[in-house]
Amino acid sequence: MMTRIIVLGAGMVGSAMAADLSKKHSVTLADLSIQRLEHIKQKHQNINILQVDVCDKTKLQSALTAFDFVVCAVPGFLGFETIKTVIEAGKNVVDISFFPENALELDALAKAKGVTAIVDCGVAPGMHNIILGHYNEKLKLTDFETLVGGLPKVKKWPFNYKAPFSPIDVIEEYTRPARYVENGNIIVREALTDCELIEFDKVGTLESFNSDGLRSILFTMPHIKNMKEKTLRYPGHVEYVRVLKDSGFFSENKIMVNGTEISPLDFTSKILFNEWKLGETEEELTVMRVSLKGKNPKGETIEVIYNLYDEYCPETETSSMARTTGYTATAVANLFLEGLFTEKGIFPPELIGKHETCFKYILSYLKERNVNYIKTQTIL
């Protein structure tokens, strides 16, 4: 009997996950846009489609009854309420909506409902948590840093950027204060600060800047003295974004324009939607470097680095961001469905990565799909 899975959200990542899961399971892809669903159905005949408004709680709950498992890929601002509804319906779920609220607030509810909910299951947050969870069992860690970005292959002035998900989520990342850990203290800085240039193989020089990507790690790994996550873009991007930000274009306070009330953020998102929209078959890439330092049981200081470089896949017409994000989530969904993880409650990915079998399963699942993490380890 095939597992019946519903994927909520038919964006670039949601549809890639549905296609991947449909190799082994019976998959239904749900979204508000029937045009989007029909477009994907043409490419993937074996995926069922269902028009659902996740904001309509009653309809969503009744839609969920027919399914054994849920994958949530809705935009961030809808994520928390959606996953709450899924848990209330008693369904196990993997989530990549990256909502700003704290998922652990739903832990008691998930336990009461006997539900396993694994959140933040993308590339970063996601894979970097899994790597951290694994090495936290092996080393006495002192340092953890992630540098990560999704970039278009072709640079187009002024932003040299394309977003594989909604611009409003990108702007959210550019406006949310960035939390990191220095000498055991949580430090809060504005996003887009501490900009520095860093070299990467195959891509050249990129700029890195503070973003709020540590999320659950701040609370699950309080013993690690130094932790930070930075976003990568082509050089020059940050300056243009800061011009918009500092001039008030990201403000949510409404202003009157010719008798119409509008927030600058809504206006900016609308403009940038076309400017930043990644074409369906437009080539892009994902770069990530995860660095960890700590002492092994012998007392030696070890540095472990994982590098990821991934590109758009022309055979499956799948963006790199959808592959690296989506296949991490489908790996975790499959390992759960195969019974490798059975605990109940809310789990950020570092609590999955700590189990050796889960860690190995995820890396080999990604490797089968040609998403390769290259590891180097040095004794310092």
Q: Where are the domains of the chain?
A: 4-123+322-373, 127-311
pLDDT in tens, 261-285: 999 999 999 999 888 988 878 899 9
pLDDT in tens, 32-45: 999 999 999 999 99
Cα 180 from Cα 226, distance rounded (Å): 8
Cα 263 from Cα 270, distance rounded (Å): 11
Alpha helices (runs of H) in 139-263, residue ranges in sequence order: 167-175, 217-220, 237-246
Q: Which CATH number fits domain 127-311: 3.30.360.10, 3.40.50.150, 3.40.50.800, 3.30.980.10?
A: 3.30.360.10
Angle at 329 between CA 308 and CA 203, to 5 degrees: 20
DSSP count for the chain of H helices, then E strands: 13, 18
Is residue 20's pLDDT more than 90?
A: yes
pLDDT at 172: 86
pLDDT in tens, 285-329: 999 999 999 999 999 999 999 999 999 999 988 999 999 999 999
Contacts of 86 (CB under 8 A, 6+ apart): 8, 64, 70, 72, 93, 117
**Cut 0.85: pTM above it:** yes
DSSP state, residue 78? H
CATH, domain range 4-123+322-373 = 3.40.50.720
DSSP state, residue 105? G
Contacts of 344 (CB under 8 A, 6+ apart): 110, 111, 114, 115, 116
Q: What three-state secondary structure class fits 156?
A: coil
